[in-house]
Amino acid sequence: MEKTFLMVKPDGVQRNLIGEIVSRFEKKGFQLVGAKLMSISNELAEEHYGEHKERPFFGELVDFITSGPVFAMVWQGDNVIASARQMMGKTNPKDAAPGTIRGDFGLIVSKNVIHGSDSPASAEREIGLFFKENELVDYSKLV
């Protein structure tokens, strides 16, 4: 079953959007297999956003993601990586369509409410960075 890593960013947590965001993915039909409210260390932030290291906004990005609690999640389901990206909307909330999470709740690119893995390789990498294997549940034995 395909899995992806999603994270409500500090702005989304502070604006009480965790429930709204979880609800959207539940109603779509995806299954939550792991979740935790946590603070991100500088080290984890730099590793998670490593591909942006050379960007001028890297420092701002690390400062922001470590500025308050985040809600880290793993979701599973058919085509969940691409589908979650569609449900999140474009990275810059200015370009995100109404009906998407960033279109409905975001205003600026640096505080865009949610992060989601953009490919199977990043999903695997990001899930491994944030979760141990025994923190993910298994629904396959449900009777």
Choose the stretch contacting ligand CMP; rule: CB under 6 A; options: 57-65, 78-86, 123-131, 135-143.
57-65
> How many Å apart are CA 100 and CA 93, to the nearest integer?
9
Is 15 a known ligand-binding residue? no
Cβ closest to ligand CMP, residue 32 vs residue 61: 61
Q: Three-state secondary structure along 23-69?
A: HHHHHHCCEEEEEEEECCCHHHHHHHCHHHCCCCCHHHHHHHHCCCC
- Any known ligand binding at 85? yes
| Residue of 33, 70, 75, 115 with catalytic role | 115
Touching ligand CMP, residues 83-142 (CB under 6 A): 91, 109-110, 112, 115
Please give the C-alpha separations between residue 117 and each of 120, 137, 141, 142, in angstroms, as whole numbers.
8, 19, 27, 27
Q: Which stretch binds ligand CMP (CB under 6 A): 20-28, 33-41, 52-60, 79-87?
A: 52-60
Residue 92 assigned to a binding site: no
Joined tokens for residue 6? 């999603």
**Would you say 28 is a known binding-site residue?**
no
Work out whether 67 is an interface residue with ligand CMP (CB under 6 A). Answer: no
Could you tell me the two tokens for 127? 């899930």
Q: Is 48 a catalytic residue?
A: no
Binding residues vs ligand CMP (CB under 6 A):
52, 57, 60-61, 91, 109-110, 112, 115
